[in-house]
Chains A and B, each alone.
Chain A
């Protein structure tokens, strides 16, 4: 790729996975109890997409990474304090809901508008990244809709690897059944990649990267315009946490032989 890629990563925040989540009813529909108080993280799959974007940008000179995020501004600012130390990017923030109960159709419309409004974005160099699902809605819908709205016909979901070629084409590995990957060759941008976990470890915090990022992150947060999700006719009839609690039989002080026998019998039933 001669001039580098323009990589736009779409990703929002989710409650820290260690938190207990309890649904409540509000006039606006279901929500999480104490949602604004829950510690948040950048969605795990969006994080992978961001790390992969930064990795790709570091290999191809002239590339640039944007992170487009729709989330409550105050929570997003907290999360950025950590994320900004990982890799270099320019934040495009929208002050809106990050709830998993929000409809993907409204979120996709906002994201697509924001991507299109990025100044200087070159469609012939554009790669749109994001998590293929999120840890909140977990639907795998939003990124496809963003792609459709941007008129991108080359879409890949459940991506674990991208390997670029000198001519701008790239190979993509997408997850398929049986723990395998489908291998595709795409002739080049524009394309959309919804990432699974990829293969990269989480980058270590780098305070220098963090300081450089924060020069653009804070103004972006201040500029963030408020956006509400358009009504889509999605109605929640109920939201309930799983109630299934098992009566665990704890087997202690039993010889290995007996335990092994019991397990083998259970497997064979």
Chain B
């Protein structure tokens, strides 16, 4: 943030929106990050800050951010708002926005909010921008940074329309870490009519994979490319060995698994490939752009459509047999020209030894 708000300009009215997580008791981690940013923006623009909460029961969660300094805390709660459903979430958020009449609406880009807030902006005659990675005040006005063309062009934008809804990505600000408090909360009654109950959320479903492979909070992203399923130096495909090496590594390192499009597409074509790899793992131009401090790519060529999915991976290393692959051309910090099967096998052995030593040390300390 820079260049504080100039005196005499239009005073913004900021509404920060949050929802409770699936446990119904706490707020998602991203909420604290965006709250921290909202507090900063409000201070620099001399703006008022109001908090809006939705969920089945928001009392416990509201206490966590009770000392944030917001002038008002509004909530829509009840069984109708337990599950993310477009119709009921939109009604709740619309009611809060109409009560507050904000000029700026800041919210974390959780799945729940990402799939409803642009729709709400239409109802409020406002406009929304998503995947915001930073906010800055320039000449007294708020500007936002976001990527276009799948993380290949970064733009700084400004909108005249108000209210301006901004959905912010995680990792864009330090989390707010204030003390819990007991906010004075205004609970708003929102009735959901029958025509908005045509959809029922019945639960969640994990992918068919036996092990959890996607861990958004992991320190390491491990990306497997199509090379794992190609013929190796002995002229044979070692699919089963690849599966066990990768799963063992994920188990030991607690890394999150990503896959290149070519590998994921092979799974869709029902070829005999890595059984645990689904489209949800896909990273790159047509997949996800996850945020992890480190990334390790294996058996993947590292060309541009793939690497755009690495835009928010800070430290990047790759293992590939080709010293001229894309990773070597400034895409990775380190490229190991070696056989990923052999390297990962040894990495797993070393990680397992380290893990055993840790367990022994813990047992001795007891």
Contact = CB atoms under 8 A, between A and B. Distances in A.
Given A179-B280, A256-B339, A260-B350, A140 B115 contact: yes
Interface in B243-276: 253, 265, 268-270
A15 interface: yes
Nearest to A242: B154
Contacts of A233: 127, 159-161
A188 B198 CA distance: 8
Contact of A138 (B85, B147, B157): B147
Interface residues of B, number: 102
B343 A256 contact: yes
A173 B205 contact: yes
A61 B105 CA distance: 45
Interface string B101-115: 000000000111011
B111 A187 contact: no
Most buried by B among A132, A184, A185, A261: A184
Nearest to A185: B200
Contacts of A234: 127, 157-159
B154 A239 contact: yes
B342 A256 contact: yes
Contacts of A236: 155-157
A75 B305 CA distance: 21
Nearest to B143: A237
B323 A250 contact: yes
A186 B195 CA distance: 11
Interface residues of A, number: 93
Given A153-B196, A154-B199, A248-B331, A242 B152 contact: yes
Nearest to B161: A233
Contacts of B315: 266
A196 interface: yes
A259 B281 contact: no
A263 B200 contact: no
A72 interface: no
A26 to B, nearest CB: 14
Contacts, number: 275
B361 interface: no
Contacts of B303: 18
B204 A145 contact: no
A188 B195 CA distance: 12
A164 interface: no
B147 to A, nearest CB: 7
A100 B151 CA distance: 12
Nearest to B122: A148
Interface in A145-203: 145, 147-149, 153-158, 160, 171, 173-188, 194, 196-202
Interface stretch (B58-66, B172-180, B213-221): B213-221
A203 to B, nearest CB: 11
Contact of A144 (B115, B317, B335): B115
A140 B114 contact: yes
Contact of A154 (B115, B147, B158, B198): B198
B202 A257 contact: no
A218 interface: no
Contacts of A187: 198-199
B296 interface: yes
B201 interface: yes
Most chain A CB neighbours (cut-off 10 Å) among B160, B281, B339 = B160
A246 B154 contact: no
B329 interface: yes
Nearest to B284: A17
B238 interface: no
Interface in B99-153: 110-112, 114-116, 118-119, 122-123, 127-131, 138, 143, 147-153
Contact of B215 (A23, A178, A252): A178
A141 interface: yes
Given A246-B330, A249-B335, A264-B354, A147 B119 contact: yes
A247 to B, nearest CB: 7
Contact of B328 (A136, A173, A250, A257): A250
B114 A157 contact: yes
B231 interface: no
B334 interface: yes
A85 B214 CA distance: 35
B10 interface: no
Contacts of B365: none
A71 B160 CA distance: 26
A96 interface: no
A21 interface: yes
Contacts of A267: 220, 253, 294, 296, 351
Q: Which of A173, A180, A241 has the most CB of B within 10 A?
A: A180
A122 to B, nearest CB: 17
A232 B127 contact: yes
B130 A139 contact: yes
Residue in B116, B213, B286, B311 with the greatest tally of chain A CB atoms within 10 Å: B286
Interface of B: 28, 83-87, 90, 110-112, 114-116, 118-119, 122-123, 127-131, 138, 143, 147-161, 195-196, 198-207, 212-216, 220, 253, 265, 268-270, 278-282, 285-287, 294, 296, 303-305, 311, 315-317, 319, 323, 327-339, 342-343, 346-347, 349-351, 354
Which 10 interchain pairs have the tightest Cβ spacing?
A179-B214, A233-B160, A260-B346, A157-B115, A197-B279, A144-B119, A245-B330, A141-B118, A155-B86, A17-B305
9 contacts: A17-B285, A105-B127, A153-B198, A186-B198, A187-B198, A240-B153, A246-B330, A254-B338, A266-B317
